[in-house]
Amino acid sequence: MDQSTVLQMLLVPVMAIAVAAVARQRGWPVPLLLVLAGLVLSPVVPDYQLDAELVLLVFLPPLLYAAAIESSYLRLKDVSRPVALLSVGLVLFTTLVIGGVAHLLMPDLPLAAAFALGAIVAPPDAVAAVAVARRLGLPRKVVAILVGESLFNDATALTVYRVAVAAALGEGVSWSAAGVEFLRSAAGGVVVGVALTWILTRVLRMLRDALVENTVMLLIPFAVYLAAESVHVSGVVAVVIVGLSIGHLMPRAAFGTRLLSDAVWRVFGFFLESIVFVLIGLQMWPIMRNLGGADPWRLGGMALAVFAAAVASRIVWVVPSIYLPRILSGRVRRREPHPPSWQNVAIVSWAGMRGVVSLAAAFAIPEGFPGRDTLLFLTFAVVIGTLLVQGLTFPALIRRLRVSNEQEIYGDNLAEAAAQQAAASAALARLEELVAAGVGETHQEVVDQLRAKSERRTLGAWERLGGGTGQEGEETPSTVYRRLRREMLAAEREVFVRLRDERRIDDEVLRRVVQDLDFEEAILERD
């Protein structure tokens, strides 16, 4: 491999990280700016055609896993009904609607090929929506629904897509067989995910080394996906099940494993997402080049119609699927006594941005497939249209509807304060037991420091509710403590670095002592 090839391979990630860095500094929506950068640069770098296998085998498993381990299994369980309606029901409904529209626009296109297009563009990619939702403070239930939908809808769409492609190629697949295949694939993915979770959690417990554990965890999404796909069940479902389970069990892992895992997956996820969104924009030129002498006005009209169908089908499905079950079922009303606000329903209805999975599925269409180039173009138009139109208007919609999570934040702080007080009481009781048993009796100053630290942690939690001792506009004691201690830690670091530069301590010593200071500063950030 020559240097020019290596430089070309590095171009996309370097460009993606540079654009993402600027967007983060300016507070702009990172995914949308990356897509725009890809569109602008597409004619300049026309050879970056998306590799479907690269996306489905390299990008999709770790992105799903990273989202799953950060999600709450219990919260997703609470919103399982709307998630199922979106990740299964909406995908099937959208497939039918877009398939019907595409067949009307292109009567010569086989119906199965039209449904393949519907399956390709049916699953929204909630990365952009969730990024905006968290930044603007949406209620966690809405975020959980969007995350849950994005975790499971790819499995539905890819299964329907494979069936539709097989039918279009004349392989004689019936709709009843398609339904059986979907259920087998999804159920099999769950079984594989549960089985691998049982094995992997025990392997991770045996390792007892944070570095080795996290190295193994980097391989988990790829191994789980390939294992599931090798037995012809849903790798997407299997990866999500394993990710949710390991994330749920992570609080019981060693603290070093958690600290390292959080850093590793934040960096890895940021890196992959940056590349993915730039790659979406870069597909413009390869797709347009393959259209040849097609009528641009006709293509534009078809793209607009399919885009409108994608947006409208989500709205048409979401609104009745949220409210009708409550009207028809007393069990649903008892399980969910508080109906969702129309503002939250409107936000979920508009969060339908498509992503790289749709493009990967389109590029995976076999050569010689009926209308392949046109289907690729229509997929690209829907992906770009939803990312730009819905993505750019999504923050404005949230602000317009005045939806926020302020009440949830207050409730979290109240619950945390009560939990901190209960935990501190248990810690102090254990400390007194140890002192009574003679442990630490010759080091009273250490015991006093431990008592003071426990009390300060409890006070800090109550101060976040506004119950601190500071007057309005005055810093609370905990705030003053954190600010002064950070300044002290910075001064200590300067001394250690200066001593290293003067060759009075080794770099190994510097790394060790600075790591201790970093852990303490991290604790200050969390206090």
- Closest by CA position to 371, among listed 160, 94, 168, 174: 168
Give pLDDT, residue 520: 76
Amino acid letter, 351 = A
Cα separation, 372 vs 518, whole angstroms: 54
Question: Same domain for 336 and 349?
Answer: yes
Residue written as tokens 């254990």? Answer: 430
User: Worst-scoring range by mean pLDDT, 67-81, 434-448, 481-495?
Assistant: 434-448
When pLDDT is cut at 50, 70 and 90, the band that residue 470 belongs to is very low
Sign of the Cα torsion 357, 363, 366, 371 reads: positive
Amino acid letter, 208 = R
Question: Same domain for 270 and 372?
Answer: yes
Question: Same domain for 8 and 150?
Answer: yes
Show which of 404, 423, 445 is a domain's final residue: 404
**CATH number of the CATH domain containing 156:** 1.20.1530.20
Mean pLDDT in residue range 271-278? 90
Cα separation, 60 vs 309, whole angstroms: 26
Question: Same domain for 311 and 339?
Answer: yes
3-class secondary structure, 440:
coil
Give pLDDT, residue 468: 45
Question: Same domain for 504 and 375?
Answer: no
Cα separation, 376 vs 72, whole angstroms: 36
Counts for the chain of helices (H) and strands (E), in that order: 25, 0
Residue 2 clears pLDDT 80, i.e. is over it? no
- Closest by CA position to 119, among listed 181, 49, 47, 172: 181
pLDDT tens readout for residues 84-133: 999 999 999 999 999 999 999 999 999 999 999 999 999 998 666 666 66
Show which of 404, 427, 459 is a domain's final residue: 404
Show which of 446, 468, 490 is a domain's final residue: 468
When pLDDT is cut at 50, 70 and 90, the band that residue 442 belongs to is low
Is there a contact between 236 and 64 (Cβ–Cβ < 8 Å)? yes
- Count up the domains in the chain and report the number: 3
3-class secondary structure, 256:
helix
Is there a contact between 225 and 57 (Cβ–Cβ < 8 Å)? yes
pLDDT tens readout for residues 5-19: 667 678 888 889 999
For 112-181, the DSSP string reads HHHHHHHHHH-S--THHHHHHHHHTT--HHHHHHHHHHHHHHHHHHHHHHHHHHHHHTT----HHHHHHH
- Tell me how far CA of residue 227 lies from CA of 207, 266, 271, 460, 483, in angstroms: 22, 25, 25, 47, 50
Question: Same domain for 196 and 131?
Answer: yes
Residue written as tokens 């890196």? Answer: 271
Cα separation, 277 vs 358, whole angstroms: 12
When pLDDT is cut at 50, 70 and 90, the band that residue 413 belongs to is low
**Model confidence, pTM:** 0.84
Question: Same domain for 188 and 318?
Answer: yes
Question: Same domain for 325 and 455?
Answer: no
Residue 147 clears pLDDT 60, i.e. is over it? yes
- Closest by CA position to 81, among listed 144, 138, 129, 29: 144
Question: Same domain for 384 and 491?
Answer: no
pLDDT tens readout for residues 477-495: 667 677 777 787 788 888 8
- Calculate what percentage of the chain has a pLDDT beyond 70: 87
Higher pLDDT, residue 444 or 145: 145
Question: Same domain for 207 and 260?
Answer: yes
Question: Same domain for 302 and 431?
Answer: no
Domain extent, residue 501, equals 473-527
Residue written as tokens 């060759």? Answer: 503
Q: Please state the three-class secondary structure of 184-246 as a single string.
A: HHHHHHHHHHHHHHHHHHHHHHHHCCHHHHHHHHHHHHHHHHHHHHHCCCCHHHHHHHHHHHH
Question: Same domain for 446 and 523?
Answer: no
Is there a contact between 385 and 398 (Cβ–Cβ < 8 Å)? no
Longest Cα–Cα distance in the chain: 90
pLDDT tens readout for residues 361-394: 999 998 889 899 999 999 999 999 999 999 889 8
pLDDT tens readout for residues 190-223: 999 999 999 999 999 898 888 999 999 999 999 9
Structure tokens at 226: 């390939």
